[in-house]
Amino acid sequence: MQHIRHLAEMLRRTSALRQYFPKGADLSRWGIDELQAVAFTLNNRPRKTLAWKTPAEALNEHLLSLQEAGVTTTG
């Protein structure tokens, strides 16, 4: 069952990328600023699997909950 979920997620990501780059596109045709803009846009989309939060919001919420629970991190 985990394999099916992983496959479905990979297909969703591929579909999202196709909105910006056609299949088989040579990404060297785009500049770093354009690629970073696409990455920023995709990484800041709310996700159904994260209760419609962005990955950054979900991570921040998780880190705050760890901090409140008294778990320390190193870094």
Domain layout of the chain by residue ranges = 44-75
pLDDT at 33: 96
| Calpha distance 16→74 (Å, rounded) | 34
Cα distance between the two ends of the chain: 34
What are the pLDDT tens digits along the chain (75 aa)?
A: 678 877 777 777 788 888 899 888 998 999 999 999 998 998 899 988 899 999 889 999 999 999 888 866 565
What the block records as the tokens of 33 is 């600023």
Contact in structure between 39 and 27 (CB atoms under 8 Å): no
Cα(22)–Cα(3) distance, rounded to whole angstroms? 26
pTM over the 0.75 mark: no
CB count within 10 Å of CB 20 equals: 15
Tokens coding 7:
């496959």
